[in-house]
Amino acid sequence: MRVAMGIDGCRDGWFYFRFDDDRATFGVSPRLDLLLSDLPADACVLVDIPIGLRARGKKERLCDQAAREVLGPRRASVFAAPVRPVLKAKDYAAALAQTRRLTGRGLSKQSWNIVPKIREMDELLKVRPELARHVFEAHPEVLFAGLAGGPMSDKKSTRTGFTERMTILSILHPDAETLVASAFLAHGGFEAARDDVVDAFVLALCARRPTQLISLPPEPETDPRGLPMQMLYLPGVS
């Protein structure tokens, strides 16, 4: 049985869509280790969270830079990944000071807000390094841009942007509207937001085609622990 999963951080933990062959399930897990505890050997998981972090230096991850170039007008959706030492910071002020000392750059509030989830992923991969064979970083907006041949015309929070993204999802899966609606009915506004549902779904659909996934950048760097600093995406809708 081939397993494909898309995971996006949400209010109460991690929202996911999972495909076991053609059977789709979804839900919210409070912890990543629980969600990734039973992966078979052929599983492919795409997660919207940085994997692979620099330790210091002025140079930002190349995959973050490349993603912004791909997204153009949607480039603001790519937050700069923090350097690994910042994951231990106690508050934003400490994280900002440490980032400036180690990189000469600042740290946005948006990046700081996802530090707990970056830390959770980073620590899980340290304890279970074998997961790196199955779990990969991807950015939903980069996925949509790859599938559509260019960045989305509007923000995903708008009606136009939502419709545009659902059109692409419906091309990839005939029951996209039903699955997204069912997931939002069950969890939307409570444990997760509509954007979390849509993002997890595109991650899962692209994870179903692991042999077609391409790395951004094409030749990714590795971090001090040997983790690739890349974002995977799927070019073209077929």
Tens-place pLDDT, residues 107-165: 999 999 999 999 999 999 999 999 999 999 999 999 999 999 999 999 999 999 999 99
pLDDT at 232: 98
The model's pLDDT over 182-212, given as tens digits with 9 standing for 90+, comes to: 999 999 888 999 999 999 999 999 999 999 9
Q: Could you report the per-residue pLDDT of 22-81, keeping only the tens digit for each?
A: 999 999 999 999 999 989 989 999 999 999 999 999 899 999 999 999 999 899 999 999
What pLDDT is recorded for position 1? 61
Q: Phi-psi category of 24—alpha, beta or left, where left has phi over 0 and alpha has psi -120 to 50?
A: beta
Encode pLDDT of 83-104 as tens digits.
Answer: 999 999 999 999 999 999 999 9
Q: What pLDDT, on the 0 to 100 scale, is given for residue 189?
A: 84
- What SS3 class is residue 71? helix
Tally of domains in the chain: 1
Give CA torsion, residues 229, 231, 132, 124, to 10 deg. Answer: 80
10: β partners: 13
Give the pLDDT of residue 237. Answer: 63
Residues 152 and 141: their CA atoms lie apart, in Å, by 8
Main-chain dihedrals φ then ψ at residue 235, nearest 5 degrees: -85, 130
Q: Domain range for residue 163?
A: 1-238
